[in-house]
Structure 1
Amino acid sequence: MRRSLEGLTRHIVELHHVDTGGEGRPLVVLHGLFGSADNWRSHVKQWRAQRRVIAVDLRNHGKSPHASGMRYATQAEDVEALLEALNIERCDLLGHSMGGKVAMTLARQSPARVARLIVADIAPIAYQHGHDAIFRAMRAVEARPPADRKAADRIMAEFIETPATRMFLATNLVRGEDERLVWRVGLDQIEEDYASIVAVPDGDGAYEGPALVLRGGRSDYVSDEALPAVEAVLPRAHVETLAEAGHWLHAEQPEAFQSAMSRFLAAE
């Protein structure tokens, strides 16, 4: 039976999630910045044949509530509260990009909850502010709510050259009360605390459990220079490179991503 989140830490928000049900140890999936559980739909369809999968919308994303504070300790508390509410004492945990930092934080703060950790294309380091064009594009759409996705794409193209990035952001557009498209993400809250998103994960010490770090060969998020930081936080991590993938490696190389995940999760 699902327990209420009432009485837990005041700033915890009740996260929207998709739960496939099923037996065995669940796989919990955390998306990256401006992503959602919906981005993992095709992977979830494959994983659910073997196990229970829970794909989560982190705060200010997808269908989850908007709330101030994007610190990784805060987001990890949200996820742990969800696990508590679902009576999940132990899980395998996968996080991509920002979600990977949430996953590392949760694993460091509550290692008994995480049996195996998968971190997709992010390192436990601070990054430069790299989303200025995205914020400008999203604010422009907000200022001129478009009637359709083609109009939204034209607005975003004034700031973002890459069609794939615009298409990814457009997954966050929904119909508002006047039938025009609006952002469903908590843009104010994300931009207000963006410094926490580019910061290092929270937590002290290392996660000593088995870990897999998947990185894209065409991405610079997990450079060789970042590997000592990975080893310090995840001393048992195996680092695997998907040569033909960029930062969105699960979307760009889905079969290779699935294969790497399957090998790791099968190696009990």
Structure 2
Amino acid sequence: MSQPTPAVQTALVVDDSPAARARITTLLQLGGWQVVQAVGTDAALRMAAVVDFDLVVTDMAMRNGHGATLMRKLRENGSTARFLVVAARRTHQVRTLAAHAGAVACLAKPVDPRLFVDVMRGLAPVLRRVEVEPAAPELAAGERARLDEMFVSALPHRLAMIAAGAREGDAEAVASHAVSLAAVSDRLGHLEVAEVAHAVADDARRGVLPQGRLMELVGACARVEGRRRRMPAAQATSR
């Protein structure tokens, strides 16, 4: 019998740069996380006092505090979150300080989406998630391109989670991951992926996990990845 797991994964993103917070937040939301942002260590500690976060992503050097100090205080206060550090100057000293404070990794700023996905994939087993659909403001062309890159980078991880749930016969997990994928796909205009992911979720809610439908989803995601790989050359010639 499987052990019960929390219904949603929560992350706290701490940085005094709005752009840096937004970048990390978007990457996490594309991975199905519920995200809260904080500016500086004091605000982060206040939030952590009322929410038991699963992950804390913090800048190392901020005007309103230091990432290493924040991580140590969170541990002293009983936090069991995993820590991930980002740093504009990723020196040996910074990496060592981050590791001693309990960080699982120290990434350079601005964070590379593919590297971020790889690091997240290597963390402890992913918990089951509920539906989390981020707000959908109007996006400029450049921002949409960046979000598309993040979306494509996260596709293999998302598909792996759905496939793992199907292998284990965990229809609830399949439905949750499929709904999350459908919501983000719909937001970014990848309607084929959204439609098939919704169908997978509907099947899973009925306790059905048809292999054919899962392969259809894999194919739809592969077509999105293929279009994305062909885009840079065309974009370069238009600049």
TM-score normalised by structure 1 residue count: 0.35
TM-score normalised by structure 2 residue count: 0.39
Identify the structure with bigger relative contact order (alpha carbons < 8 Å, sequence gap 6+): 1
